[in-house]
Structure 1
Amino acid sequence: MTTHPYLGMWVTGDGHVRHQLLPNGRYDEARGNRESAYRGRYVIEGNHIEYVDDTGFTADGDFIDGVLHHGGMVLRRVAPASTR
C-alpha cells in the first residue's frame, strides 16, 4: 500500500486547530480542547483537498510548498512521534 505524502497531522501555528488526515479517506479535526470537533471524509486531487464533514458541510484547501492553506488558516504537517 502506498502512503500518500499528505497523510498525518496538520496543525496551526498556535496548535489550536489540528487536522488528522487518515489513510482511509477520513479526517478528524480538533479545536482547542475539543477533540473530534469535526469529522468527515476528504479527497485529494493533486495539491487540492476537498472536505465533507459528517453533517454535509463542505470546505476545501490547497497544499502549497508543504503547507496546508484551509479556510484562512495555515497548517503545517507534524511528523509522527515515532519519527521525531
Structure 2
Amino acid sequence: MRRRALAAAILAAALPLSAQEAPMPGHRPAHPYVGLRVTQDGRVRHELLPNGRYVEARGPRERAYLGRYEVTGDHIDDRDDTGFTADGDFVDGVLHHGGMILYRR
C-alpha cells in the first residue's frame, strides 16, 4: 500500500501542472478568459486553468498562490487555498485584479 502511495506522489510531482489539475469528467467547458496573464514587468503571472483553479507566480516563486476562481460576465472572484480573497474585472481582455494590470500572454 505504501508503495502505491509513493508511486502516485512521484508521478504527480513529475507531471506538468496542467496534467495534475486537469478538469474532472463532466466539468463545465473552459471559460474564454482561461489562460495566462502577466504584469507588464513579468513579475506576477496569473494563470486561470480550465478546471476553475488558478496558479499565481510571483517573481521566482512559480506557485506562490493556488486557489479557485469564478467568472461572472467580465468580473472575477478568486479565493486562494488559505482563504484570502481578491476580485477584479476584465476590460477589453485586460485583467484589472488586486491593484494590478495583467495582460494575456
Q: TM-score, normalised by structure 1?
A: 0.89
The answer to which structure has the higher helix fraction is 2
The answer to which structure has the higher strand fraction is 1
* Aligned counterpart, 2:43: 16
Q: Secondary structure at the match of 2:55?
A: strand
Matched, 1:29 2:56: yes
RMSD: 1.0
Paired residues, what number? 78
Q: Identity across aligned pairs (percent)?
A: 69
Structure 2 residue runs without a partner (length 5+)? 1-27
Residues in 1 aligned to 2:100 and 2:30: alpha-carbon distance in whole angstroms = 25
Question: Where do 1:72-83 residues align within 5 Å?
Answer: 72-78=99-105
Residues in 2 aligned to 1:20 and 1:29: alpha-carbon distance in whole angstroms = 6
Which residue of 70, 75, 80 maps to 2:97?
70
Structure 1 residue runs without a partner (length 5+)? 79-84
Residues in 2 aligned to 1:38 and 1:66: alpha-carbon distance in whole angstroms = 22
Q: TM-score, normalised by structure 2?
A: 0.71
Q: Secondary structure at the match of 2:83?
A: coil
Higher Cα radius of gyration:
2
Quick one: which amino acid aligns to residue 95 of structure 2? L
Q: Please identify runs of 4+ aligned residues in structure 1 that moved more than 2 A.
A: none
